[in-house]
Structures are given as C-alpha cells and as structure tokens.
Amino acid sequence: MAEQRGRSAYNVSNALQRVAITGGTHGNELNGVFLVKEFQRNAQELKERYPSFEIELHLTNAAAIAVNRRYVDEDLNRCFMAGDLADDAKLATLERVRARELDALLGPKGSETPRTDFIIDLHNSTSNTGVTICCHPNDQFALQVAAHLITRYAPQVEVQACPPISIALWGKEEAPFLPSISRSGITFEVGPVSHGTVVASLYQHTKDMVFEILSYLQVHSSFFTSGSPTAQQYQQKRVEIPVFVRYANVGYPRFAASGEVKGFISPQLQGIRELAGGPALPLDTVVFVDEASSLTLADVLFPESIEAKQALNCLVSFAAATGEQPQHTAALELFALFVNEAAYWEKDVAFVVTTKRLVAVDILYLI
Ligand SMILES: [Zn+2]
C-alpha cells in the first residue's frame, strides 16, 4: 500500500512548481548546514537564476544543529514512514514531531499533489563516498537527475578535478528518508568529512552540483512548457548508468560472551574509495582485523562457507534469487559503501556491501 502510494508520487513528467534544498537533517553534518545558510543569504540571486520554480531552503533539525549532534532523541532521517507520520502515538520524540512538521511543509508523503516536487537533502559522510546520490529505485526522475550529473561531470571526474559520482539505490520497499515525502528527491551525500566540520573542496563541489541540478530541473520544466524554445534545443537521450544496490550490511565482529566489538576495519579497507570511484572487492579482501586474526569479505558474507568456491556459488544463487538473468560471478562485482561511517557505529554497520548494475535512463540533452 505504502509502496504503491510512493510509486505514484514519484512521477514527475511535467514542469516543477517547487523545489526544496534541505540541510541539517543530521545536525552535525555541516556541509549541508552551511550551504543552506549561504543559499539563504543569497536567496534573491537564486530566485533570479532559477525563475522556473520556487526554491525553498530549510534547516530541518535546528535543535540537533544547535548542539552539533546527529539528532537529539532519534535519527530524523528514519522518521518518514507514512504509517509513523500518521500515528499520534509516535510523537514522543523531538524528531517525530519535527518529521510531522516537515511532512506538512514539504509533503505530505504519498500525496498526488505534495507541496514540493523535488527535495535535495544535503548530507556528509565520514567515509570516502565521494559524491553519492541516493534515491528510491522507482524514482525515475531522481535517476534522471543523477544520470545527468554523472554525464555532465564525467570529464572532470576523469581528470580528478572533482570526486567520483555514484548512485546508491535505497531498497525497493517504502523509504523512511526525508526526500521520500516529496514527489521526487535525492539524498546528496559527500565524503570523507568528519562530523562537526566542513571540507572546503567538497563544500564547493556540492554547491556547483546543486546549481547543476537546479539548471537541469529548469531545463526539464521548460521542456514541458508549450512554445518554449527549450523544446527545440534539447532532446531526450537514453544513457546507461551504473547504480549500486545494497547487498548486505556487515556488522562488527564481537566477543560472544560480552558482545563487545573485537575486530576493526582492516587497513586494506579503511579509507578505500567507494562505489564508482573504487575497485570491486575480491572475496579474499581482508575486511576486519583483531588482536589475533583477520576476516575476509567471504568470511563475513558467507560465514557458513569455508571454501571461497562455495561463496562464489552463493553469489550465483543470489543472482537467481533476485530474478535477474543468470550471470556468471564476474557480473556481480562487490563494492564497499560507508566503511567505518562514524554515525553507523551505533547501528552496528561496519560497512555496506553493494553490487553494481546498469540501468537505462532518458535524460534531456542539449542538441
Ligand atoms: Zn546524514
């Protein structure tokens, strides 16, 4: 039910009316906080530069920003499930109350006519994510925006003038994230940035890319306005882009008796470039080390397996289980995401394993 409502809400086939840029959904991720403040200081300029739609600028968790913490009571960016937003019994925390306010301001979630057509929610990660755009797999418009960004910045990425750009898909089920209350939207993640700090280069790249996204949204809006010259200047073009799909969350190794963490991210994995910017990880990659031993990727993904061959067979089974065309294991490369992400220690996620696949997306392209 919720997924169906979400799916219809993701359809953006015409002009956009209102776009929101949000920061501080996690109060200690200062990249977005300071960028939204800068945009607020220059709101008039922004309005003149992008006249096709209204742009709203919101610091979404002011209480958490004030104390320079991810959240006050609980993670705001997990509070946007439709059922929770409608449940009065869930209003016990500061973030639940705030989620409902934001849903009224920018949603409501699942509505055919939400107040905002697109949300860019600005985050940063302590891991080496480069620029990672996260969105719902059914959100074709968000995929289009992300595909445009990848295409547009490919030359700069090539010469390392900007960080690699990746797309990480949320799960197919309903998402609890802020951008899901809008018609379409993305979580814009950049890293590595320590909590409570700003990295100037990534801040500047984020600003440039937000402008590029707004320009694309403006082209999209004009393209669907009859009589607009944009319709003569642009055409739709199909591009194939890589997307990364979550395969497994990997928790830290722990002592059986006490439950205390006993193994840490290995030097081989620490700081590795993630997703599109990084290498595919062989199954014999050492991912954890402790005082006496080490664990490989195969060990943590397939603890019941002793032989790597068995692990490879598991990957083939996974391909079959997901209903994809039978493919040999080379097509199921594994990539790391959120390695040693500081905010995920409390969630017991040491890193996320993803697989890469290609999707076809129609983007607007200057003739
Ligand atoms: Zn965040």
pLDDT of 251-289, one tens digit each? 999 999 999 999 999 999 999 999 999 999 988 899 999
Residue 246 corresponds to which tokens in the numbers above? Answer: 């979550």
Alpha carbon of 152 to ligand 1 centroid (Å):
25
**Is 181:114 a contact under the CB 8 Å cutoff?**
yes
Q: Mean per-residue pLDDT for 346-362? A: 94
**Is 62:25 a contact under the CB 8 Å cutoff?**
no
Alpha carbon of 306 to ligand 1 centroid (Å):
37
Q: How large is the angle between the packed helices 200-223 and 140-158, nearest 10 degrees?
A: 130
Alpha carbon of 25 to ligand 1 centroid (Å):
7
What pLDDT score was predicted for residue 235? 87
Average pLDDT of the chain, as a whole number: 89
What pLDDT score was predicted for residue 11? 64
Alpha carbon of 130 to ligand 1 centroid (Å):
14
Alpha carbon of 356 to ligand 1 centroid (Å):
23
Q: Whole-angstrom Cα distance, residue 125 to residue 190?
A: 6
Q: Give the model's confidence band at 233: pLDDT under 50 very low, under 70 low, under 90 confident, else very high.
A: confident
What pLDDT score was predicted for residue 306? 52
What pLDDT score was predicted for residue 324? 52
pLDDT of 4 strictly over 50: no
Alpha carbon of 114 to ligand 1 centroid (Å):
23
pLDDT of 8 strictly over 70: no
What pLDDT score was predicted for residue 102? 98
Q: Whole-angstrom Cα distance, residue 158 to residue 151?
A: 11
pLDDT of 227 strictly over 80: no
Q: Whole-angstrom Cα distance, residue 75 to residue 331?
A: 35
pLDDT of 312 strictly over 70: no
Tens-place pLDDT, residues 158-201 = 999 999 999 999 998 999 999 999 999 999 999 999 999 999 99
pLDDT of 204 strictly over 90: yes
Q: In which element (H, E) is residue 154 found?
A: helix 140-158
**Is 123:22 a contact under the CB 8 Å cutoff?**
no
Alpha carbon of 48 to ligand 1 centroid (Å):
30
Paired with 167 in beta bridges are 133
What pLDDT score was predicted for residue 361? 94
Alpha carbon of 259 to ligand 1 centroid (Å):
27
Q: Whole-angstrom Cα distance, residue 42 to residue 125?
A: 26
Cis peptide before 164 (omega within 30 of 0): no
- How many alpha carbons lie under 13 Å from residue 362 in its C-beta half-sphere? 6
What pLDDT score was predicted for residue 365? 87
Q: In which element (H, E) is residue 309 found?
A: helix 308-321
- Give the DSSP letter string of 44-101: HHHHHH-TTSEEEEEES-HHHHHTTSS-SSS-GGG---HHHHT-GGGTTSHHHHHHHH
Cis peptide before 108 (omega within 30 of 0): yes
What pLDDT score was predicted for residue 9? 46
Q: Choose from 122-136, 270-284, 331-345 the range with maximum mean pLDDT.
A: 122-136
Alpha carbon of 361 to ligand 1 centroid (Å):
27
What is the residue whose two structure tokens read 């440039």? Answer: 208
**Residue predicted with more confidence, 323 or 2:** 323
Q: Mean per-residue pLDDT for 211-220? A: 95
Tens-place pLDDT, residues 75-85 = 999 999 999 99
Alpha carbon of 91 to ligand 1 centroid (Å):
22
**Is 274:329 a contact under the CB 8 Å cutoff?**
no
What is the residue whose two structure tokens read 């969630």? Answer: 347
Alpha carbon of 22 to ligand 1 centroid (Å):
11
Helix (H, G, I), strand (E, B) or coil at 203: helix
What pLDDT score was predicted for residue 317? 52
Alpha carbon of 198 to ligand 1 centroid (Å):
14
User: Burial letters for 95-121: b for 16+ Cβ neighbours within 10 Å, e otherwise?
Assistant: bbebbbebbeebbbbbeeebbbbbbbb
Neighbouring C-beta atoms of residue 335, cutoff 10 Å:
25
Alpha carbon of 366 to ligand 1 centroid (Å):
33
Q: Give the model's confidence band at 321: pLDDT under 50 very low, under 70 low, under 90 confident, else very high.
A: low
Alpha carbon of 112 to ligand 1 centroid (Å):
27
**Is 169:244 a contact under the CB 8 Å cutoff?**
yes
Q: Give the model's confidence band at 304: pLDDT under 50 very low, under 70 low, under 90 confident, else very high.
A: low
Q: Give the model's confidence band at 322: pLDDT under 50 very low, under 70 low, under 90 confident, else very high.
A: low
**Is 78:64 a contact under the CB 8 Å cutoff?**
no
**Is 108:6 a contact under the CB 8 Å cutoff?**
no
pLDDT of 36 strictly over 90: yes
CA distances from 315 to 14, 274, 319, 321 (A): 41, 20, 6, 10
Paired with 352 in beta bridges are 249, 337
What pTM, to 2 d.p., does this model score?
A: 0.91
Alpha carbon of 225 to ligand 1 centroid (Å):
35
Q: Whole-angstrom Cα distance, residue 345 to residue 157?
A: 30
Residue 320 corresponds to which tokens in the numbers above? Answer: 């079959």
What pLDDT score was predicted for residue 7? 41
Alpha carbon of 268 to ligand 1 centroid (Å):
25
